[in-house]
Amino acid sequence: MRPVLWIVWILLPLMASGAASIQVLRSPDGRIQFQLHSPKSGSDDLPHWNVSVAGQPRFEGCRLDLVTRDHGHVLAGASLVQALHHQVDTPIPWPIGRADPVRDRYRELRLRFSPRSGPPVEVIVRCHNDAVSIRYHLEGEGTVVIEDEGTSFRVLGRPGTLVQFLENFRTSHEHAVETVDWDRIPRGRLIDVPLTLLWPDGTAGAITEAALRRYPGMSLMRPEDSGEAVGLVSRLSPRADGSKAVRTLPMDTPWRVVLLGQGPGKLLESGTLFSLNDPPASNDFGWVRPGKITFHWWNGDVFDGRPGDPILSVPMARRYIDFCASNHIEAHSLTSTEVTTTPWYQQSRPGVEPGPDTDVTRTGHGRDPTPGGFRSGRHPRPCAIKGGPTLDVGPQPGVAGTRRGGLRCLRAARVERHDGRLLRPR
């Protein structure tokens, strides 16, 4: 189907009087309304935004704030000098989803601010039929150091929330979900995204992000030294020196997204997060073969209700492979949580925690990770699990090694979000 795209540009020259102004943006179906209140120029105020759904206020007094090393809070007292309205309606192929293609339909408001110092800054807002998305665009040349981001989310209507509390930025992001009333979310606790919101009238929402490229991941926190009016504030994973990101200008931040729907099921059905991500540099995906895979991380050696052979032993691998073959599962993963075991690849350190000599391109300990090494008569090809350390040198050695070994696929795991550089594709 040929993509259809309608674009309407409206240039609104703004008065240079320094007065605050209000910009309004509505979703294509008119249900969601976004308002941005710009600060009075020369003041210390920050822009703030509100969102309503079907006339019901849901977010109010939410701040926009980005801090750079050279210019501080770049939007504090910044003058709004230009507003561009933009409308899009186009299908996007979604080969892995049921709703193929995704309808990328939104109205956009591109707000250009003149800061008190430094180059112009833009705030880009999109109103979708099921979401509001916001990102920052910094112009200029050279590099910029992002010291902090203070984008905040102040929710109205006292919804319940589904929360994953994080002990720090270096976590597995596999925490138990707790149900907490919005106004009882404790101060000073780090919260993972997405954060799901459930209002009493059945409306559901989720605070999350999209297009996370070359930038640290976002968590949320209710600051200890703030009042109730602040709500939750973004917390970026820090670098070793305490800064958050170093980027080449011009640059875009990830999208800060609020999904909205009638019930949590509508959030799962949404294609908005998919459409917000940048298109791939190449459309050559003929080599991709979607399929199912086992991942026995949790049950380990408990194959049939009781402990058995070690997870990475050949007998246990054969049992899993036979299970895959009987249930039309294309691949079986080789992974383990056992401290006393050793992986099939080269590694001198006991257990599966990577060491300095970990090398997934070489077999170790007399194991043969090829299909012949686990042959059981009815098997699919096993799948190698590639651990974290080789991410530092790029995935190509691991890919080449598994191809030489005859394995079917490669799964990159343990990309820790505490260092934004690890999020860069190699």
| Domain 293-423: CATH architecture, name and number where available | Alpha-Beta Barrel (3.20)
User: In a 3-state reduction of DSSP, which class is residue 14?
Assistant: coil
Percentage of residues in the chain with pLDDT exceeding 90?
A: 51
Which residues does residue 345 pair with via DSSP β-bridges, in sequence order?
Answer: 363
Contact 380, 332 (CB under 8 A): yes
Report, as an integer, the average pLDDT of 240-249.
Answer: 95
Beta carbons within 10 angstroms of residue 70's beta carbon: 13
Query: Would you state the pLDDT for residue 315?
Result: 82
The number of C-alpha atoms within 13 Å of 201 and in the hemisphere containing its C-beta is 12
What pLDDT is recorded for position 291?
Answer: 78
Instruction: Reply yes or no on domain 10-276 having CATH 2.10.109.10.
Output: no
How confident is the model over 207-236, as pLDDT tens digits? 999 999 999 999 999 998 765 567 999 999
174-211 burial code (b ≥16 CB/10 A, e <16):
eeeeeebebeebeeebebbbbbbbbbeeebbbbbbbbb
Q: Tell me the C-alpha distance between 379 and 416, whole Å.
A: 33
Kindly tell me if the per-residue pLDDT of 422 is higher than 80: no
Predicted confidence at residue 20, as pLDDT, reads 67
Of 26-35, 136-145, 198-207, 220-229, give the lowest mean pLDDT range: 220-229
Rounded CA separation 354/360 (Å): 10
Rounded percentage of the chain residues whose pLDDT exceeds 70: 74
Q: What's the pLDDT score for residue 164?
A: 96
- For residues 295-309, average pLDDT: 78
DSSP states along 29-62: TS-EEEEEEPPPTTSS---EEEEEETTEEEEEEE
The per-residue pLDDT for 219 is: 97
Measured CA to CA, the distance from residue 167 to residue 189 in angstroms comes to 8
- What's the CA gap between 30 and 129, in Å, rounded? 8
Q: Which residue pairs, CB below 8 angstroms and at least 24 apart, start in 172-176?
A: 173/417
Domain map of the chain by residue range?
Answer: 10-276, 293-423
Element (H, E) at 83: strand 79-92
Q: Which of 237, 67, 205, 41 is nearest to 133 (CA)?
A: 205
Indicate the pTM of the whole model: 0.78
What pLDDT does residue 160 have?
97
Q: How many CA atoms lie within 13 A of 252 on its CB side?
A: 16
Spatial distance between the Cα atoms of 76 and 118, rounded to a whole number of angstroms: 12
How confident is the model at residue 425, as a pLDDT? 34
Write down the mean pLDDT value for the chain: 80
Mean pLDDT of 7-12: 42
More confident position, 196 or 416: 196
Say whether pLDDT at 147 is over 70. Answer: yes
Q: What is the pLDDT of residues 275-293, one digit of tens each?
A: 999 888 777 777 777 778 8
Local confidence band at 18 (pLDDT 50, 70, 90 cut-offs): low
Q: Is 1's pLDDT higher than 70? A: no
